[in-house]
A and B are shown apart, each in its own frame.
Chain A
Amino acid sequence: MGERTIIPFGPQHPVLPEPIHLDLVLEDERVVEAIPSLGFIHRGLERLAEKKEYTEMAYVAERICGICSFIHGMGYCTAIEAMMKVEVPERAHYLRIIWGELSRIHSHLLWAGLLADSFGFENLFMQSWRLREQVLDIIEETSGGRVIFGSCKVGGTRRDIDDELMGRALAQLASLEAECHAITDTFAKDSTVRRRTAGIGVLSKDQAYLLGAVGPVLRASGVASDTRKLGYGLYDRLQFEPVVEKDGDSWARTMVRVREIYQSFDLIRQAAAQMKPGPVEAKVSGNPTGEYFARLEQPRGEVVYYLKGNGTKFLERFRVRTPTFANVPPLVAMLKNIDLADVPVIVLTIDPCISCTER
């Protein structure tokens, strides 16, 4: 029985894109318990919804997080549209799908780079982010902003992508997909990546389901659950299957995200092929009443937007349950009985997006 020490992890740590604090209770070099502590980036955005008009709140919702920004805006608009029974035109749905999948590709490439950086593979980190720059260029050319797209509004989208631009973007994505294989083959086959991730941080299928894991963490443990299969926003017209791995360790979570990048390329092609000319916005008048839980699939998992309106232009409640918040209990379970050196890699494999978690 060794001595117990407590080592603080975070809020500043090279693997963390945003600050979270974990108190790690160690016995010799093994972690026996992890105590999370949030609040470093709590901006009270949920309260802001009660003071800002619901149309302007779409801009704030997008700025909850910089990595998953588009789907935050899209989820907010989806919830308001469901409450007010607004018919969003089909072309707007397809545009949202395209931008949402572009956002997913950029988020997964960002995460892949951070994972490589966490075990010192800096060259792979830089190559992943170099490819991500090409995705950001496409996003900027189609929507106007690299990270904050500013293109989703209640009733549809604020801008359209014309056919010529769409053709160019698809060609660029095709060449990018060919270049991505070099990166993803390294993640799949390199022995150094395997040494640091295979068999580390195992989460069994039952544990993942009962602890409320979502997204790639859940799918890497063998549960085929993808919120996009619910069919919101015309996803039911696209052909895809949830990407599932069986082992539940860090390597499985890596491979799920890597394969989802290619799935997103395919979804963008399908959506661009099915898109027909038409309007991109619907007229919205009146104020929201009632309540609705909008569930969407962010790059990190299932996100739930609960909105409650009371007939005025200010919402009564805006609640975002982000996927990283749901992945905190599985993280605490994964950090039991592991080596201290494996902690950064495991924390990174849940893809922590703390500014989403703490809004």
Chain B
Amino acid sequence: MIEEQPLEALEAQGLPARAAALKAEGWRLVQVCCTSQPDGRYELSYSFDKAGKFMSLRCYVPREGAAVPSITPSYLAAFAYENELQDLFGVKVSGLLVDYQGKFYRIKGKAPQAEPLSQPAKPAPAQPKEGN
């Protein structure tokens, strides 16, 4: 069974307000994910669940100088995910209520998952290529 997973696009600045509205309606935070795109942006997905229904908020920030406001004033549980964003991706999260200042993940370098490794498929050429 493939469930319906609607995406709602919004700007990064609108996250705290939208999160507060979702909390008032009774939605539960499921996860926060960051994908590094080849075009130099981070794609952030904040997923929520209420009684089996699932929806996600989607926003984009540039990779250089990435900054998002925190949703911990509404969802305190997000501190784990937002500290992970800081440690693994180098995203600056402002207003984080429980901030471990980069020490949540004990890793050697900075932002190890920042660069994408896989490149998207090239558009199909006019005739089929041989081999791979």
Which residues of chain A have a CB within 8 Å of any CB of chain B?
21, 35-40, 42, 44, 46-47, 50-51, 82, 85, 209-212, 229-233, 236, 287, 292-293, 295, 302, 304, 306, 308, 310-312, 314-317, 319, 321, 325-326, 328-330, 358
Contacts and interface: CB of A to CB of B under 8 A. Distances in A.
Interface residues of B, number: 38
A293 B5 contact: yes
Contacts of B47: 293, 304
A63 to B, nearest CB: 19
B31 A316 contact: no
30 contacts: A35-B100, A37-B103, A37-B105, A42-B105, A44-B113, A47-B117, A50-B116, A50-B117, A85-B2, A209-B28, A210-B75, A210-B77, A212-B75, A212-B78, A230-B1, A230-B52, A293-B5, A293-B47, A293-B56, A295-B54, A306-B31, A308-B35, A314-B117, A315-B118, A317-B33, A319-B33, A321-B31, A325-B80, A326-B77, A328-B80
B119 interface: yes
Given A38-B106, A292-B5, A293-B47, A310 B121 contact: yes
B23 to A, nearest CB: 8
Given A317-B35, A321-B33, A329-B77, 17 more contacts: A37-B100, A37-B103, A39-B106, A40-B106, A50-B116, A82-B2, A229-B52, A295-B30, A302-B30, A310-B118, A310-B120, A312-B119, A312-B121, A315-B118, A326-B77, A328-B80, A358-B105
Contacts of A321: 30-31, 33
Interface majority SS (helix, strand, loop, mixed), chain B: loop
Interface of B: 1-3, 5, 23, 28-31, 33, 35-37, 45, 47, 52, 54, 56, 75-80, 100, 103-107, 112-113, 116-121
